[in-house]
Amino acid sequence: MSWLMLRSFEDGKFWFNTLLREAFNFDEEVMWPNLEKVLRKTNLNSVGLPEEAEVDAFVDRKLKGLHQYKLDLELCRGSAAEVS
């Protein structure tokens, strides 16, 4: 276990994992500096933020997918009720 923990510290996975698990409950003074080191080391800090149009298109796709999911779920529930 200790070599896995050491490796996750070295490659930065520990900090991302911690951020995902404790997004609303972490020490900003510890978390962000360590995440920034990892981002700089891997050149991910130059990726940047998506454009507003990209975000809007993503949200639209997800909402359409949700709508289709709800339709499919209702169809499945209706089919299950007919079988019973």
The tens digit of pLDDT for each residue in 22-72 reads 777 767 777 778 888 888 887 777 777 788 999 999 999 999 999 999 999
Within this chain, do residues 20 and 55 fall inside the same structural domain, yes or no? no
Rg (CA), the chain: 21
pLDDT score, position 20: 77
Residue 30 CB-half CA count within 13 A? 9
Q: Within this chain, do residues 33 and 12 fall inside the same structural domain, yes or no?
A: yes
- In the chain the first and final C-alpha atoms are separated, in Å, by 51
Tell if the pTM clears 0.75, that is, is over it: no
| Tokens representing residue 7 in the block | 């490796």
Domain that holds residue 65: 50-84
Q: Is 2 in the same domain as 26?
A: yes
